[in-house]
Amino acid sequence: MLAENEKYAVEVEVFDGFDWGVVSPRKYFMVNLLSVRGGVKHTEEWNKNRQDFNLKLSGDAESPRGYNVFWAGEKFMLQADATGLPDTIEVTMNGGFSTQLTAIDVDKKLWTGSLYDDSFQYLPDGPVKFTFTAKNEYLTKTDEVTVIISGNWNDYFRSHRIK
C-alpha cells in the first residue's frame, strides 16, 4: 500500500521471450504530488481598520472594501497551503519584490511569511499579482493571487480624524 508523501523507487526489467533485458535506471516518484495554494492577507490591525472603514461608510464590515482590497503602504501577510513536501516556497510580487516563506509544521503543509517595503506606500491603484512558487527535488508548481490596491494608507487616517 502506498503512503502519502513518501518517496518510492521503480526499476524495470523486460523479458522478450528469449532473454532478460538490462534493468532500467531507478526512477523515483512521490505519492501526492507537489501543489501550492497561496493567500495574501492583511495584518490583524489593518483588517480591523478595513472593517471599521467599511462600517463607517456602509454599516457592513465587508463592503465596500472586500478582503482582497488593500491600501498602498500595508504590509502583506503571506500564507501557502502545500502538499508534496516542498523544499521551498518563494513569493514574488510585481515590481521585483520577493520573499521566502517558512514552514510552520513538520509536514510542510502550512507556510507563512510577509512582504513589506517602504516603497509600498507609493503603489498605484489597481491589481498587484503575487506568484507563489513551491519546489521540491522533483517538481515546481505555482499559484497566482491578485489583490487590489485602492488608495493610500494615509486615506484611512484622514477619513477617521476626529472633527
Cell numbers that stand for 112 in this block: 507563512
Specify the pLDDT at position 6. Answer: 76
How far apart CA 21 and CA 53 sit, in angstroms, is 72
pTM of the model: 0.80
**CA 146, CA 69: separation in Å to the nearest integer?**
10
- C-alpha dihedral (130, 136, 139, 143), degrees to nearest 10: -20
- Hey, which bits of the chain come out as E strands? 7-10, 27-30, 35-41, 69-72, 76-83, 88-93, 97-100, 102-103, 110-115, 126-135, 140-152
pLDDT in the model for residue 141: 96
CATH 2.120.10.10 fits 32-159, yes or no: no
How far is Cα 134 from Cα 137, in angstroms, rounded to an integer? 11
Contact 158, 135 (CB under 8 A): no
Cell of 147: 489583490
pLDDT at residue number 138: 81
Instruction: Report the alpha-carbon distance of residue 120 to residue 76 in Å, rounded.
Output: 10
- Do the strands 76-83 and 110-115 form a parallel or antiparallel pair, or are they unpaired? antiparallel
Q: Assess whether the previous peptide bond of 64 is cis (omega < 30° from 0).
A: yes
One pLDDT digit (tens) per residue for the chain, 163 residues: 666 667 888 999 988 888 898 888 998 876 767 899 999 999 999 999 999 999 999 999 999 999 999 999 999 999 999 998 999 999 999 999 999 999 999 999 999 999 999 999 999 999 999 999 999 988 899 999 999 999 998 877 766 554 4
pLDDT of the residue at 157 = 72
Cell of 49: 481598520
Say what the pLDDT of residue 23 is. Answer: 87
